[in-house]
Amino acid sequence: MVDAAPAADAKLWDRLGLRRGRDPYILRGILWCGRCGHRMYPVSMAGGGRRSYGCPYRCHGLVDAAGIEQLVGDAACRQLPFGVPDEYRSAFYAELLVRVAVDAAGGLVFTWRTGCEVGDAAALPVMEVVAR
Ligand SMILES: [Zn+2]
Protein backbone atom coordinates (compact mmCIF):
# COMPACT_ATOMS: atom_id res chain seq x y z
CA MET A 1 0.00 0.00 0.00
CA VAL A 2 0.80 3.66 -0.05
CA ASP A 3 2.26 5.85 2.66
CA ALA A 4 0.43 9.02 3.52
CA ALA A 5 0.88 11.30 0.56
CA PRO A 6 -0.39 14.59 -0.74
CA ALA A 7 -3.45 14.09 -2.87
CA ALA A 8 -2.81 16.53 -5.64
CA ASP A 9 0.60 15.38 -6.86
CA ALA A 10 -0.21 13.77 -10.18
CA LYS A 11 3.35 12.52 -10.65
CA LEU A 12 3.08 10.55 -7.47
CA TRP A 13 -0.09 8.87 -8.62
CA ASP A 14 1.49 8.06 -11.95
CA ARG A 15 4.50 6.58 -10.20
CA LEU A 16 2.19 4.30 -8.26
CA GLY A 17 1.23 2.83 -11.58
CA LEU A 18 -2.39 3.87 -11.34
CA ARG A 19 -3.95 4.57 -14.66
CA ARG A 20 -5.72 7.84 -15.09
CA GLY A 21 -9.27 7.17 -16.14
CA ARG A 22 -11.67 9.14 -18.27
CA ASP A 23 -14.54 6.73 -17.75
CA PRO A 24 -17.26 8.57 -15.82
CA TYR A 25 -18.49 5.20 -14.56
CA ILE A 26 -15.79 4.76 -11.97
CA LEU A 27 -17.46 1.68 -10.46
CA ARG A 28 -17.50 -0.20 -13.75
CA GLY A 29 -16.28 -3.73 -13.08
CA ILE A 30 -16.41 -3.30 -9.30
CA LEU A 31 -20.14 -3.06 -8.77
CA TRP A 32 -22.07 -6.32 -8.58
CA CYS A 33 -25.66 -7.28 -8.03
CA GLY A 34 -25.87 -8.91 -4.61
CA ARG A 35 -28.97 -10.81 -5.58
CA CYS A 36 -28.01 -12.66 -8.74
CA GLY A 37 -24.25 -12.20 -8.46
CA HIS A 38 -23.77 -10.59 -11.85
CA ARG A 39 -21.73 -7.53 -12.58
CA MET A 40 -23.79 -4.37 -12.91
CA TYR A 41 -23.35 -2.29 -16.02
CA PRO A 42 -23.41 1.45 -16.68
CA VAL A 43 -26.60 2.96 -18.06
CA SER A 44 -26.87 6.48 -19.39
CA MET A 45 -30.31 7.89 -19.94
CA ALA A 46 -30.81 9.37 -23.36
CA GLY A 47 -31.37 13.08 -23.17
CA GLY A 48 -31.53 13.50 -19.41
CA GLY A 49 -27.86 12.77 -18.89
CA ARG A 50 -28.56 10.89 -15.70
CA ARG A 51 -26.12 8.09 -15.06
CA SER A 52 -27.11 4.81 -13.45
CA TYR A 53 -25.94 1.26 -12.96
CA GLY A 54 -28.21 -1.66 -13.69
CA CYS A 55 -28.32 -5.41 -13.11
CA PRO A 56 -28.43 -7.40 -16.37
CA TYR A 57 -31.24 -9.47 -14.86
CA ARG A 58 -33.08 -6.47 -13.42
CA CYS A 59 -33.13 -7.79 -9.88
CA HIS A 60 -33.72 -4.26 -8.71
CA GLY A 61 -34.24 -0.86 -10.26
CA LEU A 62 -31.45 1.23 -11.70
CA VAL A 63 -29.07 2.56 -9.08
CA ASP A 64 -28.22 6.25 -9.28
CA ALA A 65 -24.55 6.43 -10.29
CA ALA A 66 -23.64 9.69 -8.56
CA GLY A 67 -25.22 8.55 -5.31
CA ILE A 68 -23.54 5.17 -5.19
CA GLU A 69 -20.18 6.59 -6.30
CA GLN A 70 -20.42 9.05 -3.42
CA LEU A 71 -21.15 6.24 -0.95
CA VAL A 72 -18.26 4.14 -2.21
CA GLY A 73 -16.00 7.20 -2.18
CA ASP A 74 -16.93 7.93 1.43
CA ALA A 75 -16.25 4.34 2.42
CA ALA A 76 -12.92 4.35 0.57
CA CYS A 77 -11.94 7.59 2.30
CA ARG A 78 -12.35 5.89 5.64
CA GLN A 79 -9.72 3.38 4.53
CA LEU A 80 -7.22 6.00 3.44
CA PRO A 81 -5.31 8.77 5.16
CA PHE A 82 -5.37 10.89 2.01
CA GLY A 83 -7.65 11.99 -0.79
CA VAL A 84 -7.71 10.51 -4.26
CA PRO A 85 -7.97 12.75 -7.34
CA ASP A 86 -11.08 12.05 -9.39
CA GLU A 87 -9.21 10.76 -12.44
CA TYR A 88 -7.51 8.09 -10.34
CA ARG A 89 -10.55 6.96 -8.43
CA SER A 90 -11.45 4.11 -10.74
CA ALA A 91 -7.95 2.62 -10.65
CA PHE A 92 -7.67 3.21 -6.92
CA TYR A 93 -10.97 1.57 -6.11
CA ALA A 94 -9.84 -1.43 -8.12
CA GLU A 95 -6.80 -1.60 -5.82
CA LEU A 96 -8.87 -1.26 -2.67
CA LEU A 97 -11.95 -3.23 -3.44
CA VAL A 98 -12.67 -6.70 -4.65
CA ARG A 99 -16.22 -5.65 -5.23
CA VAL A 100 -19.21 -3.73 -4.01
CA ALA A 101 -22.46 -5.64 -4.09
CA VAL A 102 -25.87 -4.01 -4.11
CA ASP A 103 -28.21 -6.18 -2.05
CA ALA A 104 -31.92 -6.62 -2.62
CA ALA A 105 -32.76 -3.71 -0.30
CA GLY A 106 -30.31 -1.38 -2.05
CA GLY A 107 -27.69 -1.68 0.69
CA LEU A 108 -24.03 -1.96 -0.16
CA VAL A 109 -21.77 -4.81 0.86
CA PHE A 110 -18.09 -4.01 0.48
CA THR A 111 -15.41 -6.62 0.00
CA TRP A 112 -12.05 -4.94 0.61
CA ARG A 113 -8.77 -6.42 -0.48
CA THR A 114 -7.32 -5.63 2.94
CA GLY A 115 -9.88 -7.83 4.64
CA CYS A 116 -11.75 -5.12 6.52
CA GLU A 117 -15.39 -4.66 5.70
CA VAL A 118 -17.90 -1.91 6.03
CA GLY A 119 -21.59 -2.51 5.81
CA ASP A 120 -24.36 -4.64 7.17
CA ALA A 121 -22.80 -7.30 9.37
CA ALA A 122 -25.69 -9.65 8.65
CA ALA A 123 -25.06 -9.54 4.92
CA LEU A 124 -21.30 -9.97 4.76
CA PRO A 125 -20.12 -12.16 1.93
CA VAL A 126 -17.36 -14.68 2.25
CA MET A 127 -14.12 -12.88 1.56
CA GLU A 128 -13.03 -13.81 -1.91
CA VAL A 129 -9.66 -12.14 -1.71
CA VAL A 130 -7.88 -11.49 1.54
CA ALA A 131 -4.64 -9.52 1.76
CA ARG A 132 -2.64 -9.43 -1.44
ZN1 LIG B 1 -29.15 -9.11 -10.32
Where does 9-130 have alpha helices with state H? 10-15, 65-79, 89-96
Mean pLDDT of 81-85: 79
Mean pLDDT of 124-130: 35
Q: Which residue has the higher pLDDT, 98 or 121?
A: 98
* Separation CA 3–CA 9 (nearest Å): 14
Give pLDDT, residue 94. Answer: 86
Does a structural domain hold residue 11?
Answer: no
Does a structural domain hold residue 9?
Answer: no
> Residue 129 in 3-state DSSP?
coil
Q: Which of 80-84, 94-98, 117-121 has the lowest mean pLDDT?
A: 117-121
CA of 67 to the centre of ligand 1 (A): 19
CA of 38 to the centre of ligand 1 (A): 6
Instruction: Give Cα 113 distance to the centre of its chain.
Output: 12
| pLDDT for residue 106 is more than 70 | yes
Does a structural domain hold residue 94?
Answer: yes
Mean pLDDT of 63-77: 90
Does a structural domain hold residue 105?
Answer: yes
Does a structural domain hold residue 73?
Answer: yes
Total H helices, total E strands in the chain: 3, 6
The count of domains in the chain is: 1
| pLDDT for residue 39 is more than 90 | yes
Does a structural domain hold residue 22?
Answer: no
CA of 109 to the centre of ligand 1 (A): 14
Give pLDDT, residue 28. Answer: 93
* Separation CA 84–CA 17 (nearest Å): 14
* Separation CA 74–CA 41 (nearest Å): 21
Residue ranges with CB less than 5 Å from ion ligand 1: 33, 35-36, 55, 57, 59
CA of 56 to the centre of ligand 1 (A): 6
Give pLDDT, residue 114. Answer: 62
Contacts of 4 (CB under 8 A, 6+ apart): 81, 82
Does a structural domain hold residue 41?
Answer: yes
Does a structural domain hold residue 111?
Answer: yes
Q: Which domain holds residue 53?
A: 28-131
CA of 119 to the centre of ligand 1 (A): 19
Give pLDDT, residue 9. Answer: 63
Cβ-contact 88, 18 below 8 angstroms = yes
